[in-house]
Amino acid sequence: QVQLVESGGGLVQPGGSLRLSCTASVTIFGIWTMGWYRQAPGKQRELVATITSKSSTNYADSVKGRFTISRDNGKKMVSLQMNSLKPEDTAVYYCNLDKGLTQYWGQGTQVTVSS
């Protein structure tokens, strides 16, 4: 059974930074693509960033240049460094493990950007 546990959310002022982390309880971690998604109130869940087993990254246009996804296979962890945060980044952020036919999700962590 795969479990993903996120941490690091919170309240931050516009222009501030937060770092989200997700730890996976899986036997093998390094071969799977990991990702971060977010869902704002009244909106569909959307991709934020993904990182493959070879550390190739992909970002939503709205976060390019501000967010950085990284992984530590030894710790079975994926992180999302978020800089220059904007109010429109406010959402619940979810960690994702992509096994192709099966997707696994964390419980989500709230990020609120407000003055």
How far out from the chain centre does Cα 65 lie?
15
pLDDT tens digits for the chain (115 residues)? Answer: 899 999 999 999 999 999 999 999 999 999 999 999 999 999 999 999 999 999 999 999 999 999 999 999 999 999 999 999 999 999 999 999 999 899 999 999 999 999 9
Residue found by looking up tokens 């693509």 in the block: 33
Q: Cα(15)–Cα(1) distance, rounded to whole angstroms?
A: 38
The residue written with tokens 């976060």 in the block is 63
**Residue 65 CB contacts under 8 Å (≥ 6 apart), including other chains:** none
At 2, is the secondary structure helix, strand, or coil? coil
